[in-house]
Chains A and B, each alone.
Chain A
Amino acid sequence: MTRRAAHQAQARRKALRIGAGSTIAVFAAVVVFVPMAPGWPAVQRSFFNAEVLQRTFPGLLDAFVLDVMIFAWSAPAIAILGLLVAIARDLRSPAFFPIRLLATVYTDVFRGLPVILVIYLIGFGIPGLGLPRPWNSPYIWGSLALVLVYSAYVAEVIRSGIDSIHRSQRAAALSLGLGHGDTMRFVILPQALRNVLPANMNLVVALQKDVALLSFVGPVEIFRQAGVYKSLYANFTPYVGAALIFLIITIPATRYADYLLQKQRQRQG
């Protein structure tokens, strides 16, 4: 081991000791002092009730499958629509002006509205037209609302990625005789998408959570199921259970997004 490496190892051990020590102290304080609060027994009974958790957890997991499914079909739709809108906003020829305008208005409108409002308008509004089954399903229209909102965000992220590619790359591709389509597909987009991968990962995490908003228009997914259990047991613990289930998914995804971002920073020096 070199002298420098030895020094660094020692510094790391010291940092670890301090970090571990202070963490343990804080947690010990929480564990010791919070139960001393006058309202704690009541809170414990209604939020951290082990028996209720045990009874409702399997049902919550079942309901969570629906969240996962809604996510699983919305995410690819968002990726495709977001990409198309981003490309549409980048079309230069005057003939495409209407498409460009449409894409711009679309991103402005859906980025400008609260997600929950769009879910209400589309999730209640369209089935309200009296469509026949299965077209009156809140799954479809609720998911569509999510897709519309998130595609607008994804489109904006991708567009910023496209803008970040220096125009000399485009010039180099065009100078070889490649068309605008090939230039976009083989030269600009691969670089742009890689640059914005971390930003898009953050949107993926946000989408995982916002799936729960669909509960307001009908689907019995985990959040709504937790509400059902809450009424049944007159206890809030099912919500805590639902929160745990979300965190099991979203924390690793968030860490992964951070990791990608960090890796990219390193690459760009």
Chain B
Amino acid sequence: MLRLEAVNKSFGANKVLDGIDLEVAKGEMVCLIGASGSGKSTLLRCVNLLEPIDDGTIWFDGQDIADPDLDPQPIRQRIGIVFQSFNLFPHMTAMENVMLAPRRIKRLSRASLHASISTLFDRFGLSDRMGHYPDQLSGGQQQRVAIIRALAMQPEIMLFDEITSALDPELVAEVLDVLRALHSEGMTMIMATHEIGFARELSDRICFLDGGRILEQGPPSKVIDDPQEARTRAFLSRVF
């Protein structure tokens, strides 16, 4: 459903993505691991068209979405992304945060949205927090609202960029539980993470990024338990 071919991206002289080839099948969960600065965030932002790529192709559902002439808006509606720093809109309640995009884009009324969105809040254990403002929520709650906000647009694929690394350790589990639930429902996901244990448990495939390249990829049993590359081994020994 998503295929990146020879994707290149530089910031000035800094080559951040260097010939990325990556294919993600429907329902698959792919984890991106790698050192800080290896290009994980940039890769996800490029897929969401928040950053233009310099070169290469991104196929999404049979369409080349890296085409610079394309209007990115309808594509972004089908690709959800959740950021490390939540990025909730601080002047809106949790409910308003979630409703904004469906209301403006799908032109649905508040009343008609309320039922389906309440269900989402319910499922993620936040039914009593819908009227709260972001600064009245814990980090874990904020991050779950951010996930609900992305899910409310009913995306076909979800991108997660280190969504637990700004959280206190005791709040990480509640967010990871959400991902487990999504995975079991067959959501297609790409996730940049430092939670190697979680990546091993849940992901179908792990990609080790190094200097903007995918140095090694495969199922967790290969990449994590039996890495072929010296750099992967060095990275894993540092994070474990």
Interface residues in chain A, defined as those with a beta carbon under 8 Å from any beta carbon in chain B: 168-169, 171-179, 182, 186-187, 190-191, 194
Contact = CB atoms under 8 A, between A and B. Distances in A.
A171 B87 CA distance: 9
A190 B96 CA distance: 14
B50 A176 contact: no
Interface in B51-66: none
B74 A175 contact: no
Interface string B192-209: 000000000000000000
Interface centre among A169, A171, A172, A194 (most CB of B within 10 A): A172
Contact of B153 (A176, A182, A186): A176
A117 B125 CA distance: 63
Contact of A178 (B48, B105, B150): B105
A182 B99 CA distance: 13
Nearest to A186: B100
Given A190-B91, A191-B91, A175 B81 contact: yes
A186 B104 contact: yes
B101 interface: yes
A171 B76 CA distance: 11
Contact of A177 (B83, B87, B91, B105): B105
Count class of interface residues, chain B: 20 to 34
13 contacts: A171-B45, A172-B87, A175-B48, A175-B50, A176-B76, A176-B105, A177-B153, A178-B73, A178-B104, A186-B104, A187-B89, A191-B89, A191-B90
Given A168-B83, A175-B81, A177-B153, 5 more contacts: A171-B45, A172-B87, A178-B101, A179-B73, A186-B100
B91 A176 contact: no
B77 interface: yes
B85 interface: yes
B3 interface: no
A250 B48 CA distance: 51
B47 to A, nearest CB: 11
Contacts of A171: 45, 50, 83, 87
Interface string B78-104: 101101010111110000000011001
Contacts of A172: 83, 87-89
Nearest to B102: A176
A171 B146 CA distance: 13
B89 A177 contact: no
Nearest to B101: A176
A176 B50 CA distance: 11
Lowest 9 A-B CB distances belong to which pairs?
Answer: A177-B77, A172-B87, A176-B101, A177-B76, A175-B81, A168-B87, A182-B104, A190-B91, A175-B48
Given A168-B85, A177-B153, A178-B100, A194 B105 contact: no
B9 interface: no
B144 interface: no
